[in-house]
Amino acid sequence: MTDFWRRWHISLSSWLRDYIYIPLGGGRKGLAVRQRNILLVFLISGLWHGGAPQFLAWGLLHGAGQVVQDFYKKAKQAVFGEAKIGLEKLRHMLSVLLTFFTVMCFWIFFRSESVSMAVICLKNMFTRWNGFLYWRQFLFTMGLEKTQFFIAVAGIAVLFGIDLISEKKKQEPAVWIYRMPLPVRWAICLFLIGAVFVVGQYGKGFDPSGFIYVEF
């Protein structure tokens, strides 16, 4: 969860860290104070998005996720110390999947009209799930046409590919792209700029005012 917030909404995360978390004492005054500060920071993050209860719940859930992570790390350190416990690649992959799943569940609170609606959505996810129904009826009847669907899948595949290369090279994409020959760099940059214009306007009835962050 900590790694996720280092990468997601970096400007807001950095501001909250520098102007709220660190002035509150950060992690310098013991574990209990650190956990309190984390919860306060994420509560304020939820409040920044809106004063409705679902935003506050979203912020507190992210704060609680980091608190749980802290206790897990402390427990692992107490049991295993600095020793490797094996299967590092598998553990890393499972950690990524667990983080992704957890964050997606938390986003339900962010997008719902109320906390009770978010709870109902979560309940139905685990008690009324029907993969066949989603594929045949739900996916393409919510405004996502087949062409859009396959473009989204292709985009996700590209992102996964870039992420895997970055993990292997232990470098951010900007670093290894910068080391390419100048014509290749320009070609990549122009392609990405074109992709932003094309994908940003793609789809029937595209409405920029419908973007969720317009509300904030």
Cα–Cα distance, 23 to 33 (Å, whole number)? 12
3-state helix, strand, coil in the chain (%, to 5): 80, 0, 20
Tokens of 26: 């950060």
Catalytic annotation on 9?
A: no
Residues in the chain: 216
CA distance 210 to 216: 12
Which has the closest alpha carbon to 56: 64, 67, 46? 46
Nearest to 66 by CA among 89, 37, 46, 109: 37
Active-site residue, selected from the candidate residues 9, 49, 62, 92: 49
Residue corresponding to tokens 């416990």? 85
Q: Is 100 exposed, middle or buried (0-12, 13-18, 19+ CB in 10 A)?
A: exposed
| Residues belonging to the active site | 49
